[in-house]
Amino acid sequence: MTLRWSSTPKMDYAGNDISSNPSISLENCKKNCVEDKTCKGIETDFDGPGPGHCWVKSSFQNGKSNDNRWAYMLNR
């Protein structure tokens, strides 16, 4: 199975959090999402490898502009 990630810079999707980690790399944040079958993607407060805060998401709804957030949607 090929996993594809798409990103949306500067968007905050509040809520729908499966879990969060206050200090993690982008690679490990994505890994946490892939391991959870209900995960639709992640949101971070950093752009690049990290570390930073990561939220594993069950959905992306009601997005609002936020210069300090980056969303990564997982296409399974």
Query: Which residues, 6 or more positions from 41, have their beta carbon under 8 angstroms from its beta carbon?
Result: 5, 33, 57, 60, 71, 72, 73, 74
Q: Cβ(26)–Cβ(49) under 8 Å?
A: yes
Q: For residue 59, give the CATH number of its domain.
A: 3.50.4.10
- Where in the sequence is the domain holding 13, given as residue range(s)? 4-75
C-alpha dist (Å) from residue 19 to 1, 38, 39, 52, 54? 24, 11, 10, 14, 8
Q: How many domains does the chain have?
A: 1
Under a CB-based contact definition with an 8 Å cutoff, are residues 69 and 10 in contact?
A: yes
Least confident of 37-41, 47-51, 54-58, 67-71: 47-51
One-letter amino acid for residue 19 of the chain = S
Q: What is the pLDDT of residue 46?
A: 86
User: pLDDT tens across 11-43, in order?
Assistant: 999 999 999 999 999 999 999 999 999 999 999
pTM: 0.91
